């Protein structure tokens, strides 16, 4: 072989070698590019929760977009449904793996997978290509581990733990995890409560509001709210009037039952509560707490009303009406204010005319205070009675007519007439009015028809029934027993009248009855009875 021939063969061999290397490079180039993309994507892998992944997929689906070549790490509760497929709970994608997937070792296990979201160009469906998968602790295991790490941590850390458990519990509808969330929130609030100054009602009220927003048990929020408001109540004990309006408003808005009047007195409960507000409240059940809310509110409300009472009590009716409307439990106090008002207005009432009195009493009736109106009229009539002269029987009769007409008090009118007659038994006008009212004078006592009919039969009645005359009988009783005398003789001396009645009988006997009446008596009374034989 010549040198020229050898040289040509070497040249052809070198060209074949270069062509082979170029072919391998072209074949491997796509694989190298893919590996570089995967390496780059892994380097910037994005961790997503299942809700976050759902949101991204919805955005891509709405825009019919191809997902970016990004590796995602997805964590959540997952269940394998075959050797190469698994489903995350509440997730809208199917997860597919080229490699076999291991079955979880725990119930409610969490899984963490890495991979990419792809879109099928023909169907437009999205799926997740799993590159790797591993099992994670359950949510409860994670919660307990986090809780152990937070033993000495501030409230903010416990609040974050509660928020994590709440979000996952609501997403997976897990009641046990939600209960753990409540536990973490409650511990956070307890730590905040311990950090507050001893007298910090505003801080307690803010914690109560936080408890409500977190939907923690009502009792916890109530305890904090009550403690804050009761501190303000205690600090405001020396305040009265409008200074308490803001506190009253907040109690009315935040404490159920505060504006509802109690149906019966709660004296013992009030005493225990005012002595130890916090201890009594913590030991109370729900129904009793509403009573305590009312006691707290009513005490403050009373302190806004009582300063309105004038020093002389003249506006007692108005203050009593306000008590009746706002704190009906304070009935006894309202009545005492009315009594003070009557006493204070006695001089004013004395100067009123009858028409002015009636107009004023009508105003009270219009305000649904008939008892006050009646007291007003009665006071006016009693003042008129005090001004009467002892012998003014005509004025007294007019006054009794007013008692009958204005107050419908016949009993009071009759009593006034009887008392006046006792002082002046010769007043025939008084006796006539009593007789018109159905009274009868018996043995010096005026009796109603019912009293007269119910009395036991006396000696005089027996005498009248048998036709006998006894000392002490009135002239009327003698007439009832024997009729009119055949003869009558009368003698009058200073201050006394004497009459002698004579009855002749068929048995030749004569009955003589002597009767007397002094100035204080209204009727003749038998003082002596004698019977003699007639001379033939």
Q: Report if residue 99 sits inside a domain.
A: no
Residue pair 393/420 in contact (Cβ under 8 Å)? The answer is yes
Lowest mean pLDDT of 20-29, 107-116, 291-300, name the range.
20-29
**Where residue 111 falls among pLDDT bands split at 50, 70, 90?**
very high
Q: How many CA atoms lie within 13 A of 232 on its CB side?
A: 22
In tens, the pLDDT along 222-250 reads 999 999 999 999 888 877 777 788 999 99
Instruction: Show contacts of 412-419: CB within 8 Å, 24+ apart.
Output: 413/437, 414/439, 414/448, 416/385, 418/446
Give the angle subtended at the CA of 237 by the CAs of 265 and 252, to the nearest 5°.
Answer: 60
CA-based torsion, 433, 437, 441, 447: positive or negative: negative
Helix (H) or strand (E) holding 124: none
For 489-513, write each residue's pLDDT tens digit: 999 887 889 999 999 876 678 889 9
7 vs 280, higher pLDDT: 280
Q: Is the pLDDT confidence value at 75 over 50?
A: yes
| Under 8 Å between Cβ of 64 and 124 | yes
pLDDT, average across residues 300-314: 90
Per-residue pLDDT at 407: 87
| Separation in Å, CA 31 to CA 26, 42, 264 | 10, 16, 90
250 assigned to some structural domain: no
Question: Given pLDDT bands bounded at 50, 70 and 90, which one contains residue 11?
Answer: low
For residue 487, is it within any domain?
Answer: yes
- Whether the pLDDT of residue 25 is over 60: the answer is no
Band of residue 26 on the pLDDT scale cut at 50, 70, 90 = very low
Residue 158 has pLDDT above 90, yes or no: yes
Least confident of 58-67, 272-281, 471-480: 471-480
If we measure between CA atoms, which residue out of 106, 102, 108 comes closest to residue 134?
102
Q: What is the mean pLDDT of residues 118-139?
A: 93
pLDDT score of 36: 42
Average pLDDT over residues 200-217: 92
**Is the residue at 61 inside a domain?**
no
Give the pLDDT of residue 10. Answer: 57
Angle between helix axes 428-436 and 410-423 (nearest 10 degrees) is 150
- What distance in Å separates the CA atoms of residue 476 and residue 485, rounded to the nearest whole number? 12
pLDDT tens sequence across 371-400: 878 888 888 888 888 888 888 889 999 999
pLDDT range class, residue 14, cuts 50, 70, 90: low
pLDDT value at residue 19: 57
134, 111 contact by CB (below 8 A): yes
**Predicted confidence band at 462 (pLDDT cuts at 50, 70, 90)?**
confident
In a domain, residue 18? The reply is yes
Instruction: Tell me the Cα Rg of the chain.
Output: 54
pLDDT at site 441: 87
Given a cut of 50, whether residue 1 has pLDDT beyond it is no
Q: What is the pLDDT of residue 35?
A: 44
What is the total count of domains within the chain?
Answer: 2
β-strand pairing of 126-136 with 110-119? antiparallel
pLDDT of 9 above 70: no
Whether residue 370 has pLDDT greater than 50: yes
pLDDT at position 151, please? Answer: 86
- Assign residue 514 the CATH number of its domain: 3.30.1450.10
514 is a domain residue = yes
Confidence category of residue 132, pLDDT binned at 50, 70, 90? very high
SS3 104: coil
pLDDT at 31 over 70: no
Averaged pLDDT, 339-354: 76
Q: Is residue 323 part of a domain?
A: no
Question: Which two three-digit tokens encode residue 460?
Answer: 């005089």
> Confidence band (pLDDT; 50, 70, 90) for 18?
low
Spatial CA neighbour of 126 closest among 80, 100, 93, 159:
93
- Mean pLDDT value across residues 182-204: 91
User: Containing domain of residue 36, as a range?
Assistant: 1-43
Q: Determine, yes or no, domain membership for 522.
A: yes
Residue 414: pLDDT over 80:
yes
Average pLDDT, the chain: 85
The pLDDT value given to residue 34: 41
């Amino acid at each position: 072989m010549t040198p020229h021939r050898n040289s040509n063969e070497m040249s052809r061999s070198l060209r074949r070698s270069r062509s082979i290397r170029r072919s391998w490079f072209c074949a491997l180039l796509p694989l190298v590019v893919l590996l570089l993309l995967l390496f780059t994507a892994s380097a910037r892998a994005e961790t997503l929760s299942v809700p976050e992944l759902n949101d991204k997929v919805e955005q891509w689906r709405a825009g019919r977009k191809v997902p970016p070549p990004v590796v995602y790490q997805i964590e959540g509760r997952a269940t394998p449904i075959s050797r190469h497929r698994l489903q995350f709970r509440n997730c809208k994608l199917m997860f597919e793996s080229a490699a076999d997937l291991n079955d979880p070792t725990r119930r409610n296990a969490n899984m963490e997978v890495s991979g990419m979201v792809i879109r099928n160009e023909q169907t437009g469906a999205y799926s997740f290509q799993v590159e790797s998968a591993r099992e994670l602790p359950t949510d409860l295991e994670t919660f307990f581990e986090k809780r152990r790490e937070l033993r000495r941590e501030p409230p903010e850390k416990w609040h974050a733990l509660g928020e994590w458990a709440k979000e996952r519990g609501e997403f997976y509808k897990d009641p046990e995890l939600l209960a753990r969330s409540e536990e973490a929130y409650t511990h956070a609030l307890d730590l905040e409560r311990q950090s507050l100054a001893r007298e910090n009602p505003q801080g307690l009220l803010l914690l109560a509001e936080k408890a409500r927003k977190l939907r923690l048990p009502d009792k916890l929020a109530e305890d904090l709210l009550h403690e804050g408001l009761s501190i303000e109540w205690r600090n405001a004990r020396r305040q009265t009037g409008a200074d308490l309006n803001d506190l009253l408003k907040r109690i009315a808005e935040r404490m159920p039952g505060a504006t509802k009047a109690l149906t019966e007195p709660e004296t013992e409960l009030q005493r225990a509560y005012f002595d130890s507000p916090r201890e009594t409240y913590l030991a109370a059940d729900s129904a009793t707490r509403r009573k305590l809310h009312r006691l707290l509110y009513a005490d403050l409300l009373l302190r806004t009303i009582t300063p309105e009472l004038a020093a002389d009590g003249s506006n007692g009716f108005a203050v009593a009406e306000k008590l009746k409307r706002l704190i009906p439990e304070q009935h006894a106090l309202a009545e005492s204010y009315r009594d003070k008002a009557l006493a204070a207005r006695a001089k004013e009432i004395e100067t009123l005319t009858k028409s002015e009195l009636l107009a004023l009493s009508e105003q009270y009736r219009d305000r649904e205070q008939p008892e006050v109106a009646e007291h007003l009229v009665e006071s006016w009539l009693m003042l008129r009675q005090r001004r009467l002269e002892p012998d003014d029987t005509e004025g007294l009769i007019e006054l009794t007519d007013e008692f009958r007409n204005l107050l419908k008090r016949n009993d009071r009118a009759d009593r006034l007439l009887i008392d006046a007659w006792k002082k002046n038994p010769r007043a025939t006008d008084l006796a006539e009015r009593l007789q018109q009212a159905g009274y009868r004078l018996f043995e010096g006592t005026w009796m109603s028809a019912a009293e007269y009919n119910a009395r036991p039969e006396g000696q005089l009645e027996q005498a009248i029934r048998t036709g006998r005359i006894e000392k002490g009988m009135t002239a009327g009783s003698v007439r009832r027993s024997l009729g009119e005398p055949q003869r009558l003789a009368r003698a009058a001396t200073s201050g006394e009248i004497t009459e002698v009645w004579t009855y002749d009988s068929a048995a030749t006997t004569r009955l003589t009855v002597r009767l007397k009446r002094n100035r204080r008596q209204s009727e003749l009374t038998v003082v002596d009875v004698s019977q003699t034989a007639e001379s033939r």
